[in-house]
Every structure is written in C-alpha cells, then in structure tokens.
C-alpha cells in the first residue's frame, strides 16, 4: 500500500479537520474541508443514485456501487499519487498546497456530470434522441463544478477553480490542455489524455472487479510506487512495463465480460427504448441544457416510468416491465470483425440485416432488429498506447525517459489492440430464428464466410 503523508500539516490536524469515510476498497478515506463543501451539496449527493455500472447488477448482483463511492475513491488515489510525488520528488517538483487541492478536487468531481445509468445515457440514449448534438459528461462535470461553487458560495480561489475544470477536461475528445503554471504532469493524474494511465482507472478497475466477484492481475500500487516525473511527464520504471500492459488488458477484460456482457447490453437497449418512448412526455433531453436542471436527473427515472399512470408513458412502462420480468430482447449471435477489416470498418445497421433475410414466411422490419457494435481497445483505437505513448525510465537516478518497443517486452503480447464485436438482437422471441439466419447471410455477403464462432441454440430458435 502507498503510505499517506501530510500535505504540510501535522497528521492530527488533518484528521481533526477532515471527514472520514470508510470505503470498502480503500478503507479510511479522509476528505478535506474544502472538498466536503462540494460533497455536502445536493448536486454531489445525487451521485448516490447513479450506479457506476449502469444495469450490470442485473447480471452481476454485487455491482450495486454508485458514482458516489467511485468519486471518493478517485479523490483518495489522487491523494496517494500526490503524496508519493511529494515524498520522492517534492523539492524538485516544487509542489504547493494548491496542487494538492486542485488535483484531489478534480478526482472528487470528475464524474459529477454523468447522467442516469452512467454511460448508457451519454453513449446510447443521447445519440439516438439528439443525433446531431454533441455532448459529453466531462464538459457537464466542469460546468457543474462552477455551478456548485456559485450556488453554495464556496470560497474557492478562481485560479484553483479554473485548474480543477481543466484537469477534468484533460482527456476529453478535442480538448487542449490548458496548463496553469509549468506543471503539465499534474494533468496526467486524474484524466490522462496523454496515454490513458490515470487514477480514475486505478479506482474503477479495483472497485468493479471486487463488486463483480472477479479476479484481477493488476495492482495499481505498483505503478504509483514506481513512477517519476521526467520532462514534465509521469513516467514508469522500465521493469513495470508488463504491469502497464496488465492495466490495459484488465480494463479490456472488464469491457468484454462485464460492461458489454450480452445480457447487460440487451437490458441497456431496452432501457434506451424506454427512455426514448418517455422523452416526449418527461422532456428528458431538456435536462442537459445546463447544470441547474441536469442534477435533478438520476437513475430514479426508471422507477418514475415504471410506476407512472399517465397514458403517455404506457409504452415506456411496458418496456420497463419486460425488463423487470426478464422478458428481454433476445441475443441472437455475434461476430468479431476480422482484423483485416478493422481499419475500414463500416457500421452495420438493422437494414443490413433485414435485407439479408432468407427465412420464408417471415417479413422482418427494421423495428424488429437491433444491431449493436461494441468496441474494446487499449483506449487508443488500433494503436498500442504502451509502446507509443508511455515513457519509462531505467532507475530512480535516471534523468532520461524512453519508449519501449513491444517486442522488447514480450513476444506473446497482443498483435492487434482493438476488437469490434457486432451483436444482433431480436425484440420478439418469435423472430429469433429469422434474425439469426439473416445475420449469417449478412456475414457471408460481407466476408464470404460466417465470422461468428458459435451457432444460436435451438431452444432460442424455437422460442415463442
């Protein structure tokens, strides 16, 4: 474990003034008084009603943890990293109290802009409800930080507030890191846009694997204890190169087995349909216009739909009831896009599938079929971020950083760093056989062979 040190104050002073949370992952988490002013706001407390893993608890019953716990965890691990850098390079890096405050605050508040059921809202619902609208939970988080500070009259320095927002946005798409001062390395800690190694991943990998009852082959403490800032960048000791690969591989394994589990995805597709059906009446998309309304939206929207008596919500309610009764959209089959087709991958649509139907007597429509494309990678698409973006050093006396080619580390590491999984679902069980046959025919047209590795069980095909 990384030992905790003070931030320039006696330990007993810190514990007297700080709030203690007992966390099931990090055990004692101490939150400073400034951060507690954000925690003790209705906007932050809302995160208790936003599940970290969306609907994964339907498959992994232990995955009931929320963005609230995760946010406290990221705050804690950000503090561990800052404490370590202070111990190991404090004089050289000239770390100041403001650096500790802002990095830990950014860790605490980085996910405060997440919508209901986390990524389902911004990655699945909004693109279908508002196809041409660009929105990100990172930008909403930054906006929410300023909103909370203004609404609750939190006494925070203006330059600190700007830096917290910039730290949160550091890894978002299209963002340009605005470095306040000469400490670019601070932007590698919470949301690392340089190579993706950050305390956000450290916490959620630890927390999610534990909640789902899964093993892991990665310990973030090894990276924290073997980091060094060289040329304003956080680098890692060369002997930990395999640990870095394990970080990305563990994340990819979680994506495949938990986050994009076939049943979880079926439930998410149903949730999105329910939200779309309820949108005209509940005006869900209007909540994203600004933080003053957005904080009022959380996972309880599902219960609102389920228990509503208004006729305008009847169709949405029926979808939710199907979810509760486990009358799910039927997973028909899937295939991994062959690696020679990855670079020029073209989205597969429901229309592609129904145009390939072969079963006589069944006329599928686009509304009968759902196609979902899942991308799993090492955070950088087809690129290997470890060999191209992560810098290493030889020993703690080193002043030079370097990249390590993949073949210098191991010959049994992946050759390709992205999977695209195409899945097809039938909304009604009586259409499963027809959808399966159309999906196979589509693959033959596309590749000249069927890329799926298993057939659809006969019991599913015969289900009515």
137 catalytic? Reply is yes
Instruction: Catalytic residue, from 110, 137, 391, 431: name it.
Output: 137
CB 237 within 8 A of CB 243: no
Catalogue the E-assigned strands of 212-349: 227-230, 233-237, 330-336
Q: Can you tell me the distance from the alpha carbon of 106 to that of 198, in angstroms, rounded to the nearest whole number?
A: 12
For residues 169 and 174, what is the distance between their CA atoms, to the nearest angstrom?
Answer: 10
The closest alpha carbon to 153, from 68, 67, 40, belongs to: 40
Question: Quick check: 209 and 53 in contact, CB under 8 A?
Answer: no
Q: Please, which residues have CB within 8 angstroms of residue 451's CB and are 6 or more apart in sequence? A: 335, 336, 337, 338, 443
Strands 227-230 and 233-237: antiparallel
Nearest to 238 by CA among 78, 3, 400, 411: 400
How many CB atoms lie under 10 A from the CB of residue 215? 8
Q: Which residues contact 220 (CB under 8 A, 6 or more apart)?
A: 77, 199, 202, 205, 206, 247
Active site residues: 137
């Amino acid at each position: 474990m990384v030992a905790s040190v003070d931030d320039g104050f006696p330990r007993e002073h810190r514990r007297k003034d700080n709030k203690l949370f007992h966390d099931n992952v990090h055990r004692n988490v101490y939150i400073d008084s400034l951060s507690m002013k954000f925690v003790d706001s209705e906007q932050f407390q809302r995160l208790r009603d936003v599940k970290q893993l969306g609907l994964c608890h339907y498959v992994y019953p232990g995955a009931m943890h929320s963005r609230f716990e995760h946010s406290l965890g990221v705050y804690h691990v950000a503090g561990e990293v800052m404490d370590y850098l202070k111990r190991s390079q404090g004089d050289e890096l000239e770390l100041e109290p403001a650096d500790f405050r802002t990095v830990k605050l950014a860790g605490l508040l980085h996910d405060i802009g997440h919508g209901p059921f986390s990524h389902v809202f911004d990655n699945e619902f909004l693109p279908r409800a508002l196809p041409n609208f660009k929105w990100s939970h990172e930008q909403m988080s930054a906006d929410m930080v300023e909103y909370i500070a203004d609404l609750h009259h939190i006494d925070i320095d203006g330059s600190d507030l700007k830096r917290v927002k910039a730290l949160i946005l550091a890894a978002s798409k299209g963002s340009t890191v605005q470095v306040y001062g000469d400490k670019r390395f601070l932007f590698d800690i919470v949301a690392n846009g340089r190579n993706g190694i950050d305390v956000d991943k450290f916490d959620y990998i630890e927390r999610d694997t534990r909640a789902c009852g899964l093993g892991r082959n990665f310990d973030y403490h090894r990276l924290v204890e073997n980091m060094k800032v060289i040329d304003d960048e956080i680098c890692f000791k060369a002997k930990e190169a395999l640990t870095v690969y394990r970080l990305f591989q563990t994340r990819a394994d979680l994506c495949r087995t938990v986050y994009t589990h076939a049943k979880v995805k079926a439930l998410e597709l149903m949730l999105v349909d329910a939200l779309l059906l309820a949108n005209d009446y509940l005006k869900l998309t209007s909540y994203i216009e600004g933080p003053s309304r957005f904080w009022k939206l959380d996972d309880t929207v599902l219960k609102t739909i389920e228990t509503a008596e208004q006729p305008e919500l009847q169709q949405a309610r029926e979808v939710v009831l199907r979810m509760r009764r486990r009358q799910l959209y039927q997973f028909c089959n899937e295939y991994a896009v062959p690696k020679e087709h990855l670079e020029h991958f073209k989205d597969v649509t429901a229309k592609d599938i129904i145009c390939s139907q072969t079963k006589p007597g069944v006329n599928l429509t686009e509304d009968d079929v759902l196609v979902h494309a899942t991308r799993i990678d090492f955070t950088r698409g087809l690129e290997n971020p470890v060999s191209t973006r992560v810098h290493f050093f030889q020993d703690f006396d080193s002043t030079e950083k370097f990249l390590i080619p993949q073949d210098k580390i191991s010959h049994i590491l992946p050759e390709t760093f992205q999977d695209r999984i195409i899945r097809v679902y039938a909304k009604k069980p009586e259409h499963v056989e027809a959808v399966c046959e159309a999906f196979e025919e589509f693959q033959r047209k596309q590749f000249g062979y069927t890329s799926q590795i298993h057939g659809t069980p006969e019991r599913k095909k015969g289900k009515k």
